[in-house]
């Protein structure tokens, strides 16, 4: 190893804390010199003026700079603290807004149920909340939080929104399963409200991707049925109470036998966003209608 490299490695470095101590010591000495020059005068005072005064100015500048930085740090801490408080306030306001939006949504939902209750005022009903559903995007089969302890029975009709949702297919003590009219296994005897012509409305989850289900066996000899006509549950249904809105004709065509017609129905209920329903606490057999 060369002597030059060795000298560089052996170069002495003074720790900063010792350097600060030395500078402080020199500052005290120079201040003492300044004090004594008031008594000595002459050339010594002149020399000290050239040496001490610039040093004092430098120390004063450094002190001022440190004081300014200290104030800035204090202000920065205040700003950061204020920022944290504002963040907390924003979070609290966001929670309050979410709660208000939820309350508004629930209020609108309850208002719809109230209006629906008024439409079918002749029937005793009980409200229920949906607590679970089968897989998929649609409420084709789901659970509600009312059961046999609440007087519910199998085949009781379920309504929501603007019309028929489905029927109770199983009951437990404090829960029930509802199968909706859009389920693939669902068939409802319906009637065209304007003409009293009967038809069968069938569930179809594949068609529900387009927002419709199907109907068939419509006898429309007078060709009076048209898109937009209302379909309600018919008197001849063995499980569904009469006159409950099912939906609206969206498409219609004549079958190959030239005797009947079939097509598509837009359900009256939004089967993608159900939360609460009404269960009509009366069975079809109890109305006196034919089964």
173 vs 38, more confident: 173
- Over residues 195-231, the pLDDT tens digits come to 999 999 999 999 999 999 999 999 998 899 999 999 9
175 vs 89, more confident: 175
Mean pLDDT across 30-43: 57
Mean pLDDT across 23-43: 61
* Cα torsion 123, 203, 148, 235: sign: positive
Mean pLDDT across 187-191: 96
What's residue 122's pLDDT?
A: 79
Measured CA to CA, the distance from residue 208 to residue 191 in angstroms comes to 21
Measured CA to CA, the distance from residue 231 to residue 237 in angstroms comes to 13
- Over residues 248-260, the pLDDT tens digits come to 999 999 999 999 9
What's residue 108's pLDDT?
A: 56
Residue 192: pLDDT over 50: yes
pLDDT confidence band for 289 (50 / 70 / 90): very low
What's residue 290's pLDDT?
A: 38
Measured CA to CA, the distance from residue 85 to residue 275 in angstroms comes to 37
Domain 125-283 class in CATH: mainly beta
Residue spans per domain, the chain: 16-92, 125-283
| Mean model confidence pLDDT for the chain | 80
What's residue 291's pLDDT?
A: 34
What's residue 40's pLDDT?
A: 47
Measured CA to CA, the distance from residue 207 to residue 248 in angstroms comes to 15
pLDDT confidence band for 53 (50 / 70 / 90): low
Mean pLDDT across 124-134: 91
162 vs 104, more confident: 162
146 vs 50, more confident: 146
Q: Is 40 helix (H, G, I), strand (E, B) or coil?
A: helix
What's residue 35's pLDDT?
A: 59
pLDDT confidence band for 186 (50 / 70 / 90): very high
- The residues, any chain, with a CB within 8 Å of residue 249's CB and separated by 6 or more, are 192, 215, 225, 226, 227, 228, 229, 231, 263, 264, 265
Would you say 103 and 259 are in contact if contact means Cβ atoms under 8 Å apart? no
How deeply is 236 buried, as exposed, middle or buried, from its count of CB atoms within 10 A (0-12, 13-18, 19+)? middle
Measured CA to CA, the distance from residue 33 to residue 58 in angstroms comes to 17
- The residues, any chain, with a CB within 8 Å of residue 222's CB and separated by 6 or more, are 195
| Percent of the chain whose predicted confidence (pLDDT) is above 70 | 67
Residue 281: pLDDT over 80: yes
What's residue 251's pLDDT?
A: 96
- Over residues 64-113, the pLDDT tens digits come to 666 676 777 778 888 888 888 887 777 777 766 665 555 554 555 555 66
H/E run at residue 276? strand 276-280
């Amino acid at each position: 190893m060369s002597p030059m490299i060795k000298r560089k490695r052996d170069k002495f470095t003074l720790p900063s804390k010792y350097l600060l101590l030395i500078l402080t010591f020199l500052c005290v000495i120079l201040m003492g010199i300044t004090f004594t020059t008031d008594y000595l005068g002459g050339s010594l005072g002149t020399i000290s003026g050239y040496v001490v005064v610039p040093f004092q100015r430098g120390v004063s500048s450094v002190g001022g700079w440190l004081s300014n930085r200290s104030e800035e740090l204090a202000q920065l801490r205040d700003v950061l603290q204020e920022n944290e408080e504002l963040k907390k306030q924003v979070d609290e306001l966001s929670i309050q807004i979410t709660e208000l939006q939820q309350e508004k949504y629930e209020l609108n939902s309850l208002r719809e149920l109230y209006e629906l209750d008024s439409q079918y005022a002749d029937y005793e009903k009980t409200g229920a909340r949906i607590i679970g559903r089968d897989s998929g995007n649609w409420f084709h089969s789901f659970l509600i939080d009312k059961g046999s302890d609440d007087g519910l029975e199998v085949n009781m009709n379920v309504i929501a929104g603007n019309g028929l949702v489905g029927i109770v297919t199983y009951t437990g003590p404090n829960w029930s399963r509802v199968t909706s009219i859009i389920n693939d296994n669902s068939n409802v005897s319906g009637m065209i409200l304007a003409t009293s012509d009967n038809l069968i409305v069938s569930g179809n989850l594949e068609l529900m991707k387009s927002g419709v289900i199907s109907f068939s066996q419509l006898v429309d000899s007078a060709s009076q049925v048209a898109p937009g006509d209302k379909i309600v549950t018919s008197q001849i249904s063995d499980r569904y109470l009469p006159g409950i809105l099912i939906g609206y004709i969206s498409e219609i065509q004549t079958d190959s036998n030239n005797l009947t017609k079939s097509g598509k129905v837009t359900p009256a209920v939004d089967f993608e966003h159900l939360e609460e329903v009404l269960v009509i606490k009366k069975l079809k057999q109890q109305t006196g209608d034919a089964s």
